[in-house]
Amino acid sequence: MTAPRGSAPATAAWNKAADPRQDGTGEATAPGGSPHGLAPLWTVEETTARRGPSRHQVPSARAAAHDEVYCTVQGSAAFQEVRRRYRGFVIPATVLFLGWYLAYVITAPVAPHLMACPVVGALNVALLAGLGQFLTTFLLAWVYARHARIHRGAAALEIRWETQELMGGNAR
């Protein structure tokens, strides 16, 4: 088992034991070695030779074709309509939910007498508002899923099928 790279003594021992470029004296024999006797285990050239060129260096023809398809889809009226419906729900819902949350968080220290008002038995306003936070979280998740299914689901599926067809994937 090799030592983790986290601690300096363990790293030095691991590095010296695993690196064939060490000459046994503790001095680095590879270019770029440090005065502490540690050398990089692999150079950039060795890493590239082992792994091959990075997929981010040169885009392939297939990647360029996919980029073109996705840019075309993104610019389409159907995609813009799906995004408009998404933003039309998410932005107001987020503002309302954060407003309700901040009202609860700010009211607790600012108006403790209000939050301490008993409602029923041992239940006070603060406890009911806290439980209401949980309730509204689940309610918001359910309303979001319903909105996505009813108002965006069919259009998004149609866009998906068109994208697959443009990329030469699955046909309907």
Task: Looking at the structure, tell me whether residues 36 and 74 fall in a common domain.
Answer: no
Query: pTM surpassing 0.85?
Result: no
pLDDT value at residue 58 = 52
Residue range of the domain that includes 68: 61-166
Task: Looking at the structure, tell me whether residues 91 and 160 fall in a common domain.
Answer: yes
Beta bridge partners of 123: 120
Asked if the model's pLDDT at residue 4 lies above 70, the reply is no
Distance of CA 12 to the CA centre of its chain: 34
pLDDT band of residue 132 (cuts 50, 70, 90) is: very high
Cα end-to-end distance, the chain, whole Å: 52
pLDDT value at residue 25 = 55
On whether the CB atoms of residues 137 and 131 are closer than 8 A, the answer is: no
Looking at the 3D structure of the chain, how many domains does it have?
2
Whether residue 42 is contained in a domain is answered as yes
Give the residue with greater pLDDT, 135 vs 161.
135
Element (H, E) at 123: strand 123-124
Average pLDDT over residues 44-59: 61
Convert the pLDDT of each residue in 137-151 to its tens digit.
Answer: 999 999 999 999 888
Give the residue with greater pLDDT, 116 vs 20.
116
Task: Looking at the structure, tell me whether residues 69 and 120 fall in a common domain.
Answer: yes
